Structure 1
Amino acid sequence: MVSDIQIIHPRSAGIDIGAEKVFVFVPGHEVQNFDTFTASFHTLVEFFKKAGVETVAMEATGVYWYSLHELLESAGIEVYLVNGAHVKNVPGRKSDVSDCQWLQQLHQYGLLRRSFIPAENTRQLRSYVRLRDDHIEMRAAHIGHIQKALTSMNIRLQQVISQITGASGMRVVKSILNGNRNAEALADLCEKQILNKKREQVVLSLQGVFKREHLFALRQAVECYEFYDRQILACDAEIEKLLQEINEHLPPPQDHPTLYRSKPTRHNAPKIENLHPMLVTMMGGKDLATISGLTDLSFLKLLAEIGTDISRWPTFKHFTAWLGLTPNRHQSGKTNKRRTNRAKTRAGQIFREAAQSLSVSKFLALGSFYRRICARRGPKIANMATARKLAVWVYNLLKNGHQFVEQGVEEYNKRLKVKQEQMLLKMAKKLGFDLVPQPTAHAVH
């Protein structure tokens, strides 16, 4: 019974926050409701202080909790931000009033698991990095609009060159917008390397049917693309400024072998000077970019998502479960069900993207691992398994200082063959058989 459970947090409260109202419950008081204006938040904090509240539980609802969390934290009140999926109320009895009471009841008995909230400077960095990712996504949409407008005029340049937004492509597009309709003249704007290989194709691709409405759509798309390009650069400037401020108070790692050895990023590389050494310094001299598949950009994004304190996760199993990179087994009755963990975190997505980039590698061990799993279980499971391996290596590097060493495809296949032979010998022995190796070619007479 509930009365037999020990109370862990006697001075606790529950908060249910929405777009327009905040409902709070403190034992010994009626359920209170407040507006979501900042002045009302200050009144709410004062109410908690007078009631002697030391800790509160609150659902992580959208972005509504941000400001209230900051005010409660600055007032010295411990905040348990919890996943709404973990605190579901009894079906048919859900309401804002009952939700805050239910949260308080679970919290006072210590039944809630707190969501991960990084330190203040990491939260700032996370905001900038996530905003940058949003701008990249919007810019990609407008690249599609540029391609659509060109195709509408039967300009097929994007089928001849690799990137329409590269130096050659943008020179051609802007020349078209400035009134140039001559295919030969437009082709001359491309790089010499392109023209030396396929000048005739470029000229043919630039013979279009130019119509007023399609040119207007092209101009709009280019302007939007350039706008988001500038927004991304502005984010890079803010990220650089914040990293410099953080690094001012940190001692640089001594004699670090990879401090100034950055790994190139092919797409969407941040325009930040000395990004790699600043990231390594923030991580206490631990370089995540030494791990296969991770670049300085993924290093930056991981730092923004998980922070610098890996001790928040006791083991690598806790870490990979939080990332959503675990099998998520459910056992009921006689059936052992295996489902992919549905948790989707941005940090987990970083590892998934890195795993996907490794899938085509012909020289890295993880590339061979991905293809082996893919052949047996399919691409989705292979991506998850590879991403999990990357996450475990990151955890071991940050927690225990274990340096990653790339073994290569040949060494990986050699070790895999030894394991397969050992398993085969074990199975044969279990079944009562003896394995006799075939004679080598030079031993045959």
Structure 2
Amino acid sequence: MQVTHERCAGIDVHKKTVVVCCLSLDMNGKPQRETRTYGTTIRELLNLCDWLSSSEITHIAMESTGEYWKPVYNVLESSFEVIVVNSHHFKQVPGRKTDVKDAEWLAELLSYGLVRGSFIPPLPQRDLRDLTRQRTTLIRERASVINRLQKVLEWANLKLASVVSDIGGVSSRAILKALVAGVEDPEALAELARGRMRSKQAELIAALSGRVRDHHRFLIQMHLDHLEFLDRQLKPFDARIEQLIEQHMPPVEVLVPAAESKPQTDSSSDLPLAWQQAMPLLDSIPGIARHSAQLLLAEIGSDMRRFPSAAHLCKWAGVCPGNHESAGKQYSGKTPPANRWLRSILVQMANAAVRCKASHFATVYRRLASRRGHKRAIVAVAHRLLIAVYHILKQHQPYRDYRTTDSGQRTQHQLLQTLQHRIERLGYQVQLTPLTAPQPPS
């Protein structure tokens, strides 16, 4: 097998130590290995960087072990070409599992070009990704607090959630704070409703007639305080994310005109946009709002040159069918494991896109959901959404629904063909004859 990298290294990463194997070829073309162990403090990692530089190492492969690979990557990325490898993509021979053997195996695979690196975004995108993921975690935690608050209200015979759509809203919080303060009269509590909620006075009075004890008041107060704390934390995250998006600019050599400029005809159209320019393009897709566009930019960025095609991006995101065939038989086609943050937001966007009745995505969903079910149809819509995102960011053009004026007729024709085929599979033959329109009375 031909050697691709003559001087490379493999790193087995742990919490407190890293085991490094340097692999090089001598004058006779024979591999020479040297293995050392370093700590994970910044001083130890700088010593590791100096040793690799003195050994004239050009490429490094290391295992993506939890969060422990990140400190090592931070030190080495500026001096070497570092490849972070998924541990599921390489396997050692059974019975030979040691730290030194793992490092040697990684170095040997790298020397022959047999390792596939994970996608590591540039530093500005990593910062944006940290912020959006932390904000998503806070939003999910806020939803959990709302659920726990609802649990307490049910235990106190307060059916507030049966009347209001959001028990964390302004009117609900005013009612709950008065309840904690000791107000027990349902009519007095119902008077605290604001806006359109004031039209539901009778329902509120019936829902707020419960059996509230001091124990319930204490828990309600704790949950309200927790909600206010999370709301205060979310605001700086929103502001910081907006600031990063406004300040981001691609490198000087890849600057492109704004999105509203004329379509480009040369190869510069493949160059990445600034995030501020990409936001309105993503917002033009049905089902994608500004919040969703921020999450997309944090996970995949605006540079589509990293992915050779839209199919590669969908495979990386885990929204394409799996490929499992053996002996000419196709087995389970479940979607492969992938970026759970990206997959989650794609599914949310797909659920929003199918509610746009006049969009192509709604048509695809209705066609698939009837025979494949809701979940499979949503994943298929998420797949098409990501394909649209890829081409929009690559071509710098807003979304255009390719549905034509006769799309309704084509959809009806496809439905008739499907139903006719189903009847024929049951052993019957049917002939479709259009009904004549009734003549108006003379």
Q: Per-residue deviation at 1:424?
A: 10
Do the aligned partners of residues 247 and 49 (structure 1) sit closer, same or farther apart at CA in structure 2, a change above 3 Å counting?
Answer: closer
Out of 344, 359, 363, which is 1:368 matched to?
Answer: 363
Deviation of 1:85 (Å): 1.1
Contact persistence 1:288–1:294 (CA under 8 A): yes
Deviations 1:1-37 (A, max 9, x none): xxxx111111110011122221111124442222222
The one of 252, 258, 270 equivalent to 1:253 is: 258
In structure 2, what is the equivalent of residue 216 of structure 1?
218
| 1:90-101 equivalence runs, <5 A | 90-101=93-104
Percent of aligned pairs with the same amino acid: 32
Give the alignment partner of residue 31 of structure 1, picking from 30, 35, 58. Answer: 35
The one-letter code of the counterpart of 2:2 is Q
CA RMSD of aligned residues (A): 3.0
Secondary structure at 1:141 match in 2: helix
Shift of 1:332: 0.6
Out of 345, 370, 384, which is 1:389 matched to?
384
Equivalent pair of 2:11/2:106 in contact (CA under 8 Å): yes
Which residue of the partner structure matches residue 174 of structure 1?
177
CA distance in 2, matches of 1:411, 1:98: 64
Give the CA deviation at 1:231.
Answer: 1.3
Count of equivalent residues:
411
Q: Which amino acid aligns with 1:26?
A: C
Tell me the CA shift for residue 38 of structure 1. 2.1
Distance in 1, matches of 2:124 and 2:11, equals 26
CA distance in structure 2 between the partners assigned to 1:36 and 1:378 by the alignment = 49
Q: Does 1:80 align with 2:92?
A: no
Is 1:134 the counterpart of 2:137? The answer is: yes
**1:206 CA displacement:** 1.1
TM-superposition CA deviations, 1:164-185 (whole Å, max 9, x none):
0111111111122222222111
Match of 2:234 in 1: 232
- Alignment pair present for 1:107 and 2:101: no
1:40 maps to which residue? Answer: 44
State whether structure 2 residue 344 is matched by structure 1 residue 341.
Answer: no
Shift of 1:230: 1.3
Offset of residue 349 of structure 1: 2.3
Task: Pick closer, same or farther for the CA change 1:255–1:107 going to 2, 3 Å.
Answer: closer
1:398 maps to 2:398: no
**2:350 — aligned with what?**
355
Asked if 1 retains the 8 angstrom alpha-carbon contact of 2:319 and 2:382, the reply is yes
Q: 1:299: how far off?
A: 0.7
Shift of 1:405: 2.1
Secondary structure, aligned partner of 2:248 = helix
Report SS of the residue matched to 2:60: strand
Instruction: Tell me the distance in 2 between the aligned counterparts of 1:34 and 1:207.
Output: 67
Cα pair 2:20 2:103 within 8 Å, conserved: yes
Q: Which residue of 1 aligns with 2:27?
A: none
CA spacing shift, 1:97–1:156, aligned 2, 3 Å: same
- State the 1:416 CA deviation: 2.9
Displacement of 1:357 after TM fit? Answer: 2.3
Structure 2: how far apart are the matches of 1:442 and 1:147? 56
Residue from 315, 319, 322 that aligns with 1:321: 315
Cα deviations by residue, 1:341-377 (Å, 9 ceiling, x for unpaired): 2223122322111112234443333123212211111
Is 1:22 aligned to 2:27, yes or no?
A: no
* Displacement after TM superposition at 1:408 (Å): 6.3
Give 1:307's aligned residue. Answer: 301
2:409 is aligned, of 410, 414, 438, to: 414
CA 1:209 to 1:408, structure 2 compared with 1: closer, same or farther past 3 Å? Answer: farther
Give the whole-Å Cα distance in 2 for the aligned partners of 1:156 and 1:443. 54
Query: Residues 200 and 120 (structure 1 numbering): CA distance in 2 closer, same or farther, change over 3 Å?
Result: same
Gaps of 5+ in 1: 258-276, 427-433
TM-score (norm 2): 0.85
Task: Give the counterpart letter for 1:207 in structure 2.
Answer: S
SS at match of 1:216: helix
CA contact (8 A) 1:363 1:409 kept: no
1:145–1:218 CA contact under 8 A, matched in 2: no
| Equivalence for 1:203 | 205
Q: Which amino acid aligns with 1:86?
A: H
Instruction: Please name the residue that 1:8 is paired with.
Output: 4
- Cα displacement string for residues 61-118 of structure 1 (whole angstroms, at most 9, x for unaligned residues): 22111121111012x1110011111112223322222111111111110011111111
- Secondary structure of the residue aligned to 2:324 is strand
2:383 and 2:259 mapped to 1: Cα distance? 31
> In structure 1, the residue corresponding to 2:331 is in which secondary structure?
strand
Instruction: Give the conservation status (yes or no) of the 8 Å contact 1:154–1:207.
Output: yes
Superposition pairs for residues 272-283 of structure 1, below 5 Å? 279-281=275-277, 283=278
Note the C-alpha offset of 1:255. Answer: 4.7
The offset of 1:417, in angstroms, is 3.8
CA shift at 1:47, angstroms? 1.7
Q: What letter matches 1:385 in structure 2?
A: A
SS for the counterpart of 1:301 is helix
Answer whether contact 2:84 2:117 (CA < 8 A) is retained.
yes
